[in-house]
Structure 1
């Protein structure tokens, strides 16, 4: 099966719908392991990130579940479903858009940013360090850093686009689920990446600012790929469970 966007649905939705239909028709039975991510990507002629988004969408729907060190399985009692709910945009697609747009925003900002705005960015980075240390959810400082750069571009349309892309991170159930998984395995805003962006802006170097932003968001995509691997998530769950057992043991002393 070759998927396309001509049906007005995103690729991950087409793949998720096709697998859900196969489950309903009995091609994949309750308790049965689905083909590997690589095989599904080849079967549906899509990328592995698209397959991963489809798997997370199916998990949200209650049709499949991840099993540690084993793979993705059809649930023993899948919830009754009509048509698949609209899950909106995935984190890979969203971050790819941010990489394209925010790279150019940073280049423009490098030519127009003020000393006051540079000081503000440095202060926001301090807040980002605190949020990382305290495991604050919501990435408020990270969002402020990127929106401040957009405002330094002196283009209100670009500010609106950047803010909309950030807001979409929390409006989309699929994107929220993927970002939460990334946080569970320790993914946090990269301070060193943001420092490189700030240095390029301080140098008023548009090309360096563009490259720093694009490289940063490229690494975000790589981190999401790693963080949403089944084994990575299951390792995190196992470690949390082990810590809870150890805490209970110590509390009993």
Structure 2
């Protein structure tokens, strides 16, 4: 495979290549995969993409992680009906959500009311409880509700539905594996909860510049968390 992976579908291409190598025994069952850094260099992609690939391979039970050691090939996944690969790469998804949420901030401010503030405050409280109890499913649910409610106040059903789709796609295809493995830590949770509360604070204060800043910081936190 060429080291110059195309921008579109790069995760899918890498998954297919690794599975092909396992099938042809170039990578053997029980063998340790190269490090994320080495795979990133080999395929000329970011470590976020490699983490998405590893997470997918773990989700289909091809790879298992050994704490402090690395990722090992567990078995070969043979499915004659074809694999359901991620349709988008996680870094592109994050960038898209950030751009859209910043863009609709102006519309959200036009329709801002006390109900939005109160509902978001309740979500933040429930989000905090989910983090304290290490309830990943509820944490994901509260995160989704927060951004769903924000999108709803754009009063544009196309944007609202598209943002809901992006969020759902991330959670169903990526987040339940990647967030638990790479992001669901005390340090990350503290920061992401702080970012959500800062978004809420900027809405309370009717400060558009702060809102734009905190949306930017929120997604930068996610991207940085995935790079580590």
The TM-score range, normalised by the shorter chain, is 0.7 to 0.9
What whole-Å deviation, never above 9, does each CA across 1:13-70 have from its counterpart, x for those lacking one? 1011111111222222222222222222222111111112112222233333222222
**Is the CA contact 1:107–1:209 (under 8 Å) kept in the aligned structure 2?**
no
| Aligned twin of 2:158 | 157
| Aligned twin of 2:83 | 85
Q: TM-score, normalised by structure 2?
A: 0.82
| Aligned twin of 1:246 | none
Query: Matches of 1:84 and 1:3 in 2, distance apart?
Result: 21
Structure 1 pair 145/45, CA: closer, same or farther in 2 (3 Å)? same
Structure 1 pair 184/122, CA: closer, same or farther in 2 (3 Å)? closer
Structure-to-structure mapping, 1:129-168, within 5 angstroms: 129-136=128-135, 137-138=137-138, 139-168=140-169
| Aligned twin of 1:214 | 216
Structure 1 pair 192/175, CA: closer, same or farther in 2 (3 Å)? closer
Query: Matches of 1:56 and 1:126 in 2, distance apart?
Result: 30
| Aligned twin of 2:5 | 3
Structure 1 pair 71/130, CA: closer, same or farther in 2 (3 Å)? closer
- Number of equivalent positions: 221
Structure 1 pair 16/83, CA: closer, same or farther in 2 (3 Å)? farther
Structure 2, unpaired ranges of 5+: none
Query: Matches of 1:149 and 1:79 in 2, distance apart?
Result: 40
| CA root-mean-square deviation | 2.6
Query: SS of the residue aligned with 1:65?
Result: strand
| Aligned twin of 1:199 | 201
**Is the CA contact 2:32–2:70 (under 8 Å) kept in the aligned structure 1?**
yes
Q: How far off its partner does 1:194 sit?
A: 1.5
| Aligned twin of 2:13 | 14
Structure 1 pair 16/52, CA: closer, same or farther in 2 (3 Å)? same
Structure 1, unpaired ranges of 5+: 227-253
Q: How far off its partner does 1:132 sit?
A: 2.5
